[in-house]
């Protein structure tokens, strides 16, 4: 029977866990030092591995060779937890068991010791959907559980949970997957599945996943079926409704030339083809920002050493672009990082809040500082930002 990629390649150990090194290192060290808490909260967006981490933690605690940072994967406890039918690891869906009566029933079950394993572990998924009254009924048990009891709560919205619950557990925030991490994992999965795939197709899938590894694998399953067993960039782009790069480049070129007729014609062609306006804007952001950064990098590399003032301005512009892109969609921010090349002068700070130049008076060795106004908050929050370049005096001398 066919098993979808998201389930077939689900991590079974912390060594296989991707993109959550801070969670893996903390839990592994805690288990190795026998400093195991009684309650854990794993928070993060969908598809980042909350339930997966909870199951791996349960395997580490109940493995016959444990508690150990890496479960053996062969004993009955490890196998049954992976299959979801372990007698002492109870998974509860809080979306359908959210009331006070269900929590009272859980409190009754807590009184009984584990039937076979070392710990009785309750994994509560979508814990933020539990009512406040139900959480209040569980507070005493959650604060002072028996030594054989562990609670693991998974949620996509920890802000909806009571502060009294959050304070009784160790909370871990699972980060969205970086596009490069998703791309590399998809390449390994498709190689294991012996599916031919274009690099451009994998990049499209990684970006469409929006940080969710499960979504990336589900889209890959769909793309394999749509492409007849192969992944080609044109086919994946058609499946996702993504905009072809040629349309985006024509639109950017028309905007740069100020050709309104060409802009209208290109937008009309996108509308006729049924392409998504949001994805078009995202492609414009990515191509324009990457092109601008490449140009700034080229400028700074050619002016370095020849004209310190211009080189410093190019550096400042590049750093200011990096600051502003933090307010753009994640796929754009993830692609832009400050340049790390060594220079002979001190690079301006990322905020580019001041420049120093020699004073205008003759023979004066003091320096004056010209502050640069940061962009207004409202303009920084818009998807299309206006770059504000720092002012520098046109006097000669080295940039400090």
pLDDT tens digits for range 24-67: 999 999 999 999 999 999 999 999 999 999 999 999 999 998 78
- Does residue 23 contact residue 40 with C-beta atoms inside 8 Å? no
The contacts found for 156-160 with CB under 8 angstroms, 24 or more apart, are 156/43, 156/44, 156/45, 156/46, 156/50, 156/126, 156/128, 157/43, 157/128, 158/41, 158/43, 158/128, 159/128, 160/128, 160/129
Instruction: Indicate the pLDDT class of residue 389, thresholds 50, 70 and 90.
Output: very low
- DSSP annotation of 175: P
pLDDT score, position 237: 83
| Fold category of 5-173 in CATH | Rossmann fold (3.40.50)
Q: Sorting pLDDT into bands at 50, 70 and 90, what band is 148?
A: very high
Domain boundaries, the chain: 5-173, 179-240, 245-275, 278-350+375-381
Band of the pLDDT at 174, cuts 50, 70, 90?
Answer: very high
DSSP state of 369: E
Q: What is the DSSP letter of 124?
A: E
The string of DSSP codes covering 265-297 is HHHHHHHHTT--HHHHHHHHHHHHHHHHHHHHH
Q: Where are the strands (E) in the chain, listed by range?
A: 39-43, 89-93, 120-125, 149-155, 170-173, 196-197, 230-231, 354-358, 367-371
Confidence of residue 345 (pLDDT cuts 50, 70, 90): very low
Model confidence at 310, pLDDT cuts 50, 70, 90, reads low
- What's the pLDDT at 308? 54
Topology, domain 179-240 = Helicase, Ruva Protein; domain 3 (1.10.8)
pLDDT bin (cut points 50, 70, 90) of residue 275 is low
| Overall pTM > 0.95 | no
Average pLDDT, the chain: 75
Average pLDDT over residues 314-320: 53
What is the DSSP code (8-state) at residue 127?
A: G
Rounded CA separation 356/239 (Å): 53
Checking if the pLDDT of 337 tops 50, the result is: no
Instruction: Provide the 10 A C-beta neighbour count for residue 18.
Output: 16
């Amino acid at each position: 029977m066919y098993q979808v990629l998201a389930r077939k390649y689900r991590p079974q150990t912390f060594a296989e866990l991707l993109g959550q090194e801070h969670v893996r290192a903390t839990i592994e060290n805690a288990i190795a030092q026998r400093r195991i808490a009684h309650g854990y909260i794993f928070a993060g967006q969908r598809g980042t591995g909350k339930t997966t981490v909870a199951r791996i933690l349960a395997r580490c605690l109940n493995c016959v060779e444990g508690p150990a940072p890496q479960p053996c994967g062969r004993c009955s406890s490890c196998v049954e937890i992976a299959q979801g039918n372990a007698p002492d690891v109870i998974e509860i869906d809080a979306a359908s068991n959210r009331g006070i009566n269900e929590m009272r029933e859980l409190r009754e079950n807590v009184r009984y010791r584990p039937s076979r394993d070392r710990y009785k572990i309750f994994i509560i998924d979508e814990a933020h959907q539990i009512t406040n009254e139900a959480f209040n009924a569980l507070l005493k048990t959650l604060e002072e559980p028996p030594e054989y009891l562990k609670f693991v709560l998974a949620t996509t919205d920890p802000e909806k949970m009571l502060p009294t619950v959050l304070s009784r557990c160790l909370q871990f925030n699972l980060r969205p997957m970086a596009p490069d991490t998703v791309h590399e994992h998809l390449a390994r999965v498709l190689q294991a599945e012996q599916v031919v795939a274009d690099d451009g197709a994998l990049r499209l899938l990684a970006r469409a996943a929006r940080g969710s590894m499960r979504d990336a694998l589900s889209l890959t399953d769909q793309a394999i079926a749509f492409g007849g067993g192969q992944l080609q960039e044109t086919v994946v782009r058609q499946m996702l409704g993504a905009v072809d790069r040629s349309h985006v480049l024509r639109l950017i070129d028309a905007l740069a030339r100020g050709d309104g007729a060409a802009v209208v014609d290109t937008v009309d062609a996108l509308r006729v083809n049924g392409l998504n306006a949001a994805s078009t804007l995202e492609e414009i952001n990515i191509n324009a920002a990457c092109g601008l950064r490449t140009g700034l990098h080229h400028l700074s590399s050619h002016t370095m050493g020849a004209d310190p003032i211009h080189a410093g301005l190019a550096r400042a512009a590049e750093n200011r672009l990096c600051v502003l892109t933090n307010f753009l969609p994640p796929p754009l921010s993830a692609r832009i990082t400050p340049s790390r090349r060594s220079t002979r002068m001190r690079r301006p700070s990322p905020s580019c809040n001041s420049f120093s130049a020699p004073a205008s008076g003759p023979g004066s060795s003091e320096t004056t500082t010209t502050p640069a106004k940061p962009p207004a908050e409202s303009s920084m929050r818009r998807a299309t930002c206006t770059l504000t370049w720092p002012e520098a005096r046109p006097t000669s001398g080295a940039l400090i």
